[in-house]
Structure 1
Amino acid sequence: MSCTEPLSSPTLPRMYEISADQARLDVPRIHEWLSTDAYWALGRPLAKQEAAIAGSLNFGAYHRETGEQHGYARVVTDRATFAWLCDVYVDRAARGRGLGTALVTAARDHLAPYGLRRIMLATADAHGVYAKLGFEPLAEPDKWMALGLQ
């Protein structure tokens, strides 16, 4: 599937479409959302967000009539064995319609043909949302480690 074609999701509200076309992203809007309202990215500089977008597979959720972006998700992946789903955000005015679930479903389904071994994510407060889509807590969290550099 081309990254410029709209993606499907069985849970996508009719008024929206999802695309992996990086050219459609409203980068200033994404930066505003994440740097001011997302606990994991507060204060993230625009240049850092632009670099993250450039090195990732990105998904936008857009209102069909206006073209305005209402949601975003980013995936860091080698497209062979591993992916990290991150920066999932739905505009506050568009929440409660299932758009976040549809966005994550479309990203997951877009990754399926790669035959990845694992898609990871971290969340402080949305475990139930991700569990509905097949995500589970780590079976052996004691095997995982992280290096925090900042």
Structure 2
Amino acid sequence: MRWTGPDGFEADDDVARIDVDVVHGFLTTSYWAPGIPREVVAQSVAGSLNLGVFAADGAMVAFARMVTDRATFGWLADVFVLPSHRGHGLGRFVVSTLLEHPELKGVRRFMLGTADAHELYRSYGFEALPEPDRMMIIRKDPSDIYGRP
């Protein structure tokens, strides 16, 4: 499915159109997935509902994915706009389009993690966990999973 965005940009959820090299290139420099192997990125894209944002020349310039069962729960992940394309409203475009995706219409709980965009996500209705003591996590060191470079 395709959506028209600001300044002639287009969003598309066709997984075949997602440029895994662009996603991998950005994530390896992010605070949340530094050094992540390309094959792990490819697997995460294959298992998610993805939204790429594309410039008029077809280059992917922004991305977000939803880890979801498409029925009850979604985890918004890996949201980014390439630095060269910031300032066009593409961050808001990719997030709002993905949250309103028809395949997520019945989802009753969305979650995400962020270190620096709390106000942006609050504008969509995200809030701090009301009962954080109900949530638990298992953390594994990436080097234990992917090995050391």
Partner of 2:74: 83
RMSD: 1.4
User: Counterpart amino acid of 2:12?
Assistant: S
TM-score, length-scaled by structure 1? 0.88
For 1:17 and 1:85, the matched residues in 2 are separated by 20
How far did 1:15 drift?
A: 1.9
User: Counterpart amino acid of 1:14?
Assistant: D
Unaligned runs of 5+ in 1: none
Partner of 1:39: 31
For 1:123 and 1:26, the matched residues in 2 are separated by 23
How far did 1:149 drift?
A: 2.4
For 2:123 and 2:11, the matched residues in 1 are separated by 19
Partner of 1:6: 2
User: Counterpart amino acid of 1:18?
Assistant: A
How far did 1:7 drift?
A: 2.7
Partner of 2:65: 74
Alignment of 1:1-150 (within 5 A): 5-7=1-3, 12-36=5-29, 38-63=30-55, 65-110=56-101, 113-150=104-141
Which has the higher relative contact order, 1 or 2, with Cα contacts under 8 A spaced 6 or more apart? 1
Partner secondary structure for residue 85 of structure 1 = strand
TM-score, length-scaled by structure 2? 0.89
Give yes or no for contact 2:7–2:88 (8 Å, CA) kept in 1.
no
For 2:54 and 2:32, the matched residues in 1 are separated by 23
Task: Extract structure 1 runs of 4+ deviating beyond 6 A.
Answer: none
Unaligned runs of 5+ in 2: 142-149
How far did 1:134 drift?
A: 1.6
